[in-house]
């Protein structure tokens, strides 16, 4: 049997590449696995040889110690791979298929899955609706920043690419289908972006850049991206976005007015989440600042897409309320302007097939937009460190050297 190695969370600020168990078609006892999920048989699953697996900003929240993630958790929910083992109950997926794995784990059987709300599947996580690989409070499913990973409910979940050679040619784009491209796209759709829209995107990390590119695909006339780091803003400018450096300016409306001639936009997207910083020089963490700011600058009757992550437990929060996810949001502002808020995990399967076709046709160039950068598995700890320091890159881990 082949060995296996993976990227393991070892405590605040520490990730290491370690030997881990080779996956089989059972969810074994391990870090973060609820007792009621231990021993769960997955003959409906497959084992993948991982081709690409990406470092995500959501992973960084755990590594920074901003969640209750247990030590020993194998990280990674953005997975693309080749099927090397097929469970007894798998009917349509076969060995040798190359496929994208939606980061939401979903059974395909419950009422939420039947309504295409795969982000809140009722059967994969006994603790709460919704599951994911290698993530705190998401059912204990082993992460995919590894050489091999098990994927349950394969017939339902896997997005199999139609042509192997074409898939490998486009792999840096296709690897984004597991999470950030559907997540950014969901943010834009939720915000109501359409032909001619003016759009503000808070955050120029990979999800923010994916949201900006998605807004362009949906026909936005102007996309404005705000961030605190100049390098990230330059990346947004590289594919046609306007930008605002929020470290230099504390009044977003004034900056938008300089670009559009008025201090409001049609739609806004929060791609930052709960680790948000206040605007202007020397500003400290303000977890509700993005939500309050986008309410200020979004027109009356507009929608706010909120794919940025918010948590129920944040042990590193600056105040006691924020430690339980209670933020000082000016909800009355949103009510008065009749805003629509769309929050929660993205139902990746709702979008990934269409986005795959946009990639394969050359319409979408998501790898370029997010500056996809390939590293080896042993380089993952340095990738985490560089990403944490604000590197304007989307780090793609290549565990087997498949992309050389």
Per-residue pLDDT of the chain (404 residues; tens, 9 = 90+): 579 999 999 999 999 999 999 999 999 999 999 999 999 999 999 999 999 999 999 999 999 999 999 999 999 999 999 999 999 999 999 999 999 999 999 999 999 999 999 999 999 999 999 999 999 999 999 999 999 999 999 999 999 999 999 999 999 999 999 999 999 999 999 999 999 999 999 999 999 999 999 999 999 999 999 999 999 999 999 999 999 999 998 899 999 999 999 999 999 999 998 888 888 777 788 889 999 999 999 999 999 999 999 988 888 887 888 888 899 999 999 999 999 999 999 999 999 999 999 999 999 999 999 999 999 999 999 999 999 998 999 999 999 999 97
Residue 258 and residue 236 share a domain = yes
Residue 205 and residue 124 share a domain = no
Residue 189 and residue 126 share a domain = no
Residue 126 and residue 59 share a domain = yes
Specify the number of domains making up the chain: 2
pLDDT of residue 317: 83
The CATH number of whichever domain residue 317 belongs to comes to 3.40.50.720
pLDDT of residue 7: 98
The CATH number of whichever domain residue 370 belongs to comes to 3.90.180.10
What is the model's pTM?
0.96
CA angle 234, 236, 242 (to 5 degrees): 95
The distance of Cα 398 from the centroid of its chain, to the nearest Å, equals 18
Residue 147 and residue 90 share a domain = yes
Residue 101 and residue 18 share a domain = yes
Contact 232, 392 (CB under 8 A): yes
Residue 268 and residue 168 share a domain = no
Residue 218 forms part of a structural domain: yes
pLDDT of residue 1: 55
Residue 175 Cα distances to 80, 191, 394, angstroms: 6, 24, 11
Contact 278, 252 (CB under 8 A): no
Residue 162 forms part of a structural domain: yes
Residue 189 and residue 256 share a domain = yes
Residue 135 and residue 162 share a domain = yes
Residue 300 and residue 159 share a domain = no
Contact 221, 251 (CB under 8 A): no
Domain boundary residue, one of 342, 366, 383 = 342
pLDDT of residue 291: 96
3-state secondary structure string, the chain?
Answer: CCCCEEEEEEECCEEEEEECCCCCCEECCCCCCCHHHCCEECCCCEEEEEEEEECCHHHHHHHCCCCCCCCCCECCCCEEEEEEEECCCCCCCCCCCEEEECCEECCCCCHHHHCCCHHHCCCCCCCCCCEEECCCCCCCECCCCECEEEECCHHHHCEECCCHHHHHHCHHHHHHHHCHHHHHHHHHHHCCCCCCCEEEEECCCHHHHHHHHHHHHCCCCEEEEEECCHHHHHHHHCCCCEEEECCCCCCHHHHHHHHHCCCCEEEEEECCCCCCECCCCCCCECCCHHHHHHHHHEEEEEEEECCCCCCCCCCCCCCCCHHHCCCCCCHHHHHHCCCEEECCCCCHHHCHHHHHHHHHCCCCCHHHHHCEEEEEHHHHHHHHHHHHCCCCCEEEEECCCCCC
Residue 404 forms part of a structural domain: no
Contact 400, 376 (CB under 8 A): no
Distance between start and end Cα atoms, the chain: 25
Residue 213 and residue 72 share a domain = no
Residue 225 forms part of a structural domain: yes
Residue 129 and residue 159 share a domain = yes
Residue 321 forms part of a structural domain: yes
Residue 199 forms part of a structural domain: yes
* Residue span of the structural domain in which 188 resides: 183-342
Residue 403 forms part of a structural domain: no
Residue 377 forms part of a structural domain: yes
Domain boundary residue, one of 342, 357, 372 = 342
Domain boundary residue, one of 342, 357, 386 = 342
């Amino acid at each position: 049997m082949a060995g296996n190695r993976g990227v393991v969370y070892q405590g605040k600020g520490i990730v290491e590449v370690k030997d881990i168990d080779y996956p089989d078609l059972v969810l074994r006892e391990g870090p973060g696995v609820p007792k009621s999920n231990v021993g769960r048989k997955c003959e409906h699953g497959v084992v993948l040889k991982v081709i690409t697996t990406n470092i995500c900003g959501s992973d960084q929240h755990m590594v920074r110690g901003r969640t209750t993630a247990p030590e020993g958790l194998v990280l990674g929910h953005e997975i693309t791979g080749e099927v090397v083992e097929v469970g007894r109950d798998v009917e349509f997926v076969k060995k040798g298929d190359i496929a994208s794995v939606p980061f939401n784990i979903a059974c395909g059987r419950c009422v939420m899955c039947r309504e295409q709300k795969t982000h809140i599947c009722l059967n994969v996580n006994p603790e709460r609706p919704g599951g994911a690989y290698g993530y705190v409070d998401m059912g204990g499913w082993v992460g995919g920043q590894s050489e091999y990973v098990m994927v349950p409910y394969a017939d339902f979940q896997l997005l199999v690419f139609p042509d192997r050679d074409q898939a490998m040619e486009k792999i840096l784009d296709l690897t984004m289908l597991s999470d950030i491209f559907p997540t950014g796209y969901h943010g834009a759709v939720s915000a109501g972006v359409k032909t001619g829209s003016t759009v503000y995107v808070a955050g120029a990390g990979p999800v923010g850049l994916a949201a900006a590119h998605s807004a362009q695909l949906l026909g936005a006339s102007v996309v404005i991206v705000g961030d605190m780091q100049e390098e990230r803003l330059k990346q947004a400018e590289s594919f046609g976005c306007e930008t605002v450096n929020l470290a230099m300016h504390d009044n977003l409306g004034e900056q938008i007015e300089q670009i559009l001639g008025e201090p409001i936009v049609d739609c806004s997207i929060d791609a930052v989440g709960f680790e948000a910083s206040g605007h202007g020089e020397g500003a400290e963490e303000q977890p509700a600042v993005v939500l309050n700011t986008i309410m200020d600058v979004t027109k009356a009757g507009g929608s706010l897409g909120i794919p940025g992550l918010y948590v129920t437990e944040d042990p590193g929060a600056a105040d006691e309320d924020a430690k339980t996810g209670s933020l000082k949001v000016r909800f009355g502002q949103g009510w008065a302007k009749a805003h629509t808020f769309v929050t929660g995990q993205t139902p990746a399967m709702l979008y990934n097939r269409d986005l795959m076709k946009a990639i394969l046709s050359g319409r979408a160039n998501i790898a370029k937009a997010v500056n996809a950068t390939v590293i080896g598995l042993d380089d993952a700890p340095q990738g985490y460190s560089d990403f944490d320091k604000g590197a304007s890159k989307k780090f793609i881990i290549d565990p087997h050297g498949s992309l050389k």
